[in-house]
Structure 1
Amino acid sequence: MANLLFEIIEFLADGKFHSGEMMAKHFNVSRVSIWNAIAKAEDVGIKIFSVRGKGYKLQHPISLLNEKIIKNAMGEEGSWFDIKVLDSIDSTNNYLSKIAATGHPHASVVAANIQMQGKGRRGRQWQSALGESLTFSFLWRFTKGAAGLSGLSLAVGVALIRALKKINISTALLKWPNDILIFDEGVYKKLAGILIELQGDTDGQSAAIIGIGLNLNLSKTQLEKIDQPATDINNLVSEKIDSNFFMAIIIKELAQALASFESDQFKPFKDEWLSYHAFQDKLIDIMLGNSQTITGKAIDISDTGALIVRTDEGSKSFASGEVSIRSAG
């Protein structure tokens, strides 16, 4: 039933009305099967409208991810990656973490059209709905251990900024250590987030599962669920962006950045990262894991991606993953 539901959703992706009778003929099933499948839509957060005499439609047209289209958009490079698109999943990071532990290939991508329990940093949940976000995870195997991957999330942030520039979004900023922001109407609004989970030895070989959530076209309902100001790609471009085309751009930029990081770690990214730093030379609050808050001015990033802050007690550095950060106003 789940497969039929997503086949129906793909059929309805144009945002127009389609009759149950026509869909039953198209899928070679009964009209009752169509009705039963559509009745399950709300279980995965999908709203399908039904109007007597017209049929069924989605609230608006959507672009579903398709692995073949993504690979074709990547050209020759598409054959270098193992790309899988799932209809729905609890978390792409969870899914990829499990199969990575069993030897799943390097440079693998798992994306989902619907992610039910996407993971954010510090136990938060990444909110996503059909057609409203890009949610995917990228597996990259490193010859160095986890101890040598300091600053990885910052390098991934730079790769996302580069991808955004390819679709003419040049106003994106980076928030240490793992968010993409847009400054809009006097407010920093979240556009994307990064969550990295590591497997392997501290000093031996390791694997990074890089989870990314990027807002495409958020509904009012979805915006109300997010616990911070947010924006989306749709608000930043004049023409609709095809999600498969954009996904292909992101994968290529990520692979290029990760290959560079493998060779030279974070140092080559440092100046570029600083040029996008949302809070550079600004007063910030740093909230430590023990609930202690430190105020200071963000003045630099170390060669390993640590945030350097000038406080009343002198300059201090904070390693990625230890603190949260927000504007002090």
Structure 2
Amino acid sequence: MTPTLLELLEAKPGQYVSGETISKELGVSRTAVWKQIRKLEEAGYRFEASRRLGYRLVGKPDRLTADTLLGQLRTQRFGRRVYLYDELGSTQDAAQKLAEEGAEEGTLVIAERQLNGKARMGRSWISPFGKGIWMSMVLRPPLPVHSAPQITLLIAVALCRSLRRNTGLPIGIKWPNDLLVNGKK
């Protein structure tokens, strides 16, 4: 079985592996190796490259796991069921589908990256890997439908206050529900 680029570099921790060696091991061109390195960098991996020595892995992305998250929650209902994806079209679409299938209130959908995030007025966006928390939660509040949009605003305020208190960071809100630290989402 042919190893992956990551497996080759992880097998030599702290050491450089030449582009030629990688290219031969994987059976691809050196250009293809370079392109794969770029894709991995977009996913949060860090490399050092040297013309004479090749590539070496110097850092891996900090990955969220459902076990880590669940181990830190103290809630009875919200977030007790977590669906965690590396990549997803939209957490909102996935949460809506789960809700329609009967998912319990508090079910949480998290994606490391979204390719078709949902915004107001039918807009969409790409949520880059490792640059934020992209999530949606199934809620079943006993409210009239016309009051439901207020929940988004209330949650933004509650998260902002809680995170400020627990981190000391100067967190603010960009209407209606984006949290900002030093002007960045």
TM-score, L = length of structure 2: 0.66
Partner of 2:130: 131
Q: Tell me how far apart the structure 1 counterparts of residues 65 and 48 of structure 2 sit (CA, whole Å).
A: 26
Matches within 5 A, 1:204-243: none
Partner of 1:296: none
Matches within 5 A, 1:1-329: 17=14, 32=26, 39=36, 42=39, 45-46=42-43, 49=47, 51=49, 55-57=55-57, 61-75=60-74, 77=76, 81-165=80-164, 166-169=166-169, 171-181=170-180, 189-191=183-185
Partner of 1:306: none
> Is residue 17–residue 55 contact of structure 1 (8 Å, CA) maintained in 2?
no
Indicate the RMSD between aligned Cα atoms, in angstroms: 4.0
Letter in 2 for 1:42: K
Structure with greater contact order relative to length (CA < 8 Å, sep ≥ 6): 1
C-alpha deviation, 1:119, in angstroms: 2.1
Provide closer, same or farther for how the CA distance between residues 142 and 129 of structure 1 changes in structure 2, counting only shifts above 3 A. Answer: same
Q: Tell me how far apart the structure 2 counterparts of residues 176 and 46 of structure 1 sit (CA, whole Å).
A: 28
Q: Tell me how far apart the structure 1 counterparts of residues 172 and 105 of structure 2 sit (CA, whole Å).
A: 29
> Is residue 172–residue 180 contact of structure 2 (8 Å, CA) maintained in 1?
yes
> Is residue 71–residue 78 contact of structure 1 (8 Å, CA) maintained in 2?
no
Provide closer, same or farther for how the CA distance between residues 112 and 154 of structure 1 changes in structure 2, counting only shifts above 3 A. Answer: same
For structure 2, list consecutive stretches of 5 or more residues without a partner in the other structure: 18-24
| Residue-by-residue CA offset, 1:155-176 (whole Å, 9 max, x unaligned) | 011122123211112x333344
Letter in 2 for 1:69: T
Q: Tell me how far apart the structure 2 counterparts of residues 79 and 120 of structure 1 sit (CA, whole Å).
A: 23
Identity over the aligned pairs, expressed in percent? 21
| Residue-by-residue CA offset, 1:243-280 (whole Å, 9 max, x unaligned) | xxxxxxxxxxxxxxxxxxxxxxxxxxxxxxxxxxxxxx
Q: Tell me how far apart the structure 1 counterparts of residues 150 and 75 of structure 2 sit (CA, whole Å).
A: 30
- The aligned length equals 164
| Residue-by-residue CA offset, 1:2-47 (whole Å, 9 max, x unaligned) | xx98xx59x97xxx75778xxxxxxxxxx649x9999497399437
Provide closer, same or farther for how the CA distance between residues 174 and 46 of structure 1 changes in structure 2, counting only shifts above 3 A. Answer: closer
TM-score, L = length of structure 1: 0.40
Q: Tell me how far apart the structure 1 counterparts of residues 135 and 15 of structure 2 sit (CA, whole Å).
A: 30
For structure 1, list consecutive stretches of 5 or more residues without a partner in the other structure: 21-30, 192-329
**Which has more strand, going by share of residues?**
1
Aligned partner of residue 62 in structure 1, secondary structure: coil
> Is residue 161–residue 172 contact of structure 1 (8 Å, CA) maintained in 2?
yes
